[in-house]
Structure 1
Amino acid sequence: MNEASVPEPSTDQITKHALLAIAVGGLTAGTLDILQACILFGWDIPLSITAGLLGRKALQGGPGNYILGLLLHFFITFTFAAFYYASSRKLLFLKDHPLVCGLAYGAAVELVMQLIVLPLSALHATGPHDLHDLIQGLLVHMVVVGLPISYSLRRFAK
């Protein structure tokens, strides 16, 4: 059977594959990232995420603030997964080289969070940061965010 006789995937199939790649990548990255953050920094991390939206009063706690922090965290990881997928439609190497591109993307995610998202948040979190913290953040996000997103795209996107 030659390649000319292989049917092109339908728009519905492409959409299903895209959504699956984004869902698996976002869910896996989000789960690994929140778990590592809670293990390293404490189980109140979702409250800090909520405080980024609502301000310091969210740090007082409560189940609503905790759940909102988790929802915001997963919204962010799904958004990063969707951006990677959308970029891969034009930058084909993103799908072809998931190891290198995933590691680079994870580092880029960390930089976007540290240099744009956190300073613009209600907490206005800015440096100075210790070199150890910067390196740790880059390495962690390269592995737990970048790689799951890039490999889910490689596995599920068509």
Structure 2
Amino acid sequence: MARAGQRILVATLVAGALDIAAAVLLAIQAGRTPDKMLRGVASGPFPEAVHWGLGGAALGLAVHFAIMAVMAAVYILAADRLPALKAQRLLAGILYGIATWAAMNLVVLPLRWPAVFPHLDPQSVATQLFCHIVLVGLPIALIAARR
């Protein structure tokens, strides 16, 4: 179990850093500041965080990595019990990226912000699928396959 914990930590840090870097770039491209984007992340569980300045942004970063830790733990613990996930790590990583996109964009975000989500325009879907597949699903699957 200790080895699984190490892989979960590494996967959380790698996928979390890649995904948040993409989110920062997308926020800047959209004319938003990274701290505002991070306060938006924090406002999921803490609605008033949008008004908390840098503290709210720091909380948003923590929330992001907490969500990523759950995503990594679910996959890695499953992969330790289902050898096919390790044997077919590229396909499994792609499918997990799609699954995490669906969970976040079709369930989690619409439950919290039903008037705003889901964003299903082709560009948004393509961008988010790319991020979830390449920056989340594949890194987690590749790290899960390590011994």
* Band the TM-score falls in, shorter-chain normalisation: 0.7 to 0.9
Q: Does 1:52 align with 2:44?
A: yes
Counterpart of 1:39 in structure 2 is 25
Deviation digits for residues 64-85 of structure 1 (CA, Å, limit 9, x no counterpart) = 2111111110011110110001
CA shift, 1:128, in A, is: 4.8
Instruction: Write out aligned runs for 1:98-109 (5 A).
Output: 98-109=89-100
Please say if residues 97 and 134 of structure 2, whose CA atoms lie closer than 8 Å, have aligned partners that are also in contact. yes
Residue identity in the other structure for 1:51: S
Name the counterpart of 2:3: 17
Larger relative contact order (Cα-Cα within 8 Å, sequence gap ≥ 6): 1
Count of residue pairs brought into register by the alignment: 140
User: Which structure is larger by alpha-carbon Rg, 1 or 2?
Assistant: 1
Partner of 1:92: 83
How does 1:1-158 map onto structure 2 within 5 Å? 15-42=1-28, 43=34, 44-55=36-47, 57-121=48-112, 123-124=113-114, 125-156=116-147
Specify every segment of 5 or more residues in structure 2 that has no aligned partner in the other structure, as ranges.
Answer: 29-33
**5+ residue gaps, structure 1:** 1-14
RMSD, matched Cα: 1.5
CA contact (8 A) 2:106 2:118 kept: no
Contact 2:105 2:119 in 1 (8 A): no
Q: Aligned letter for 1:104?
A: L
Letter in 2 for 1:108: A
Distance in 2 separating the partners of 1:33 and 1:127: 19
Q: Which moved more, 1:30-39 or 1:59-68?
A: 59-68
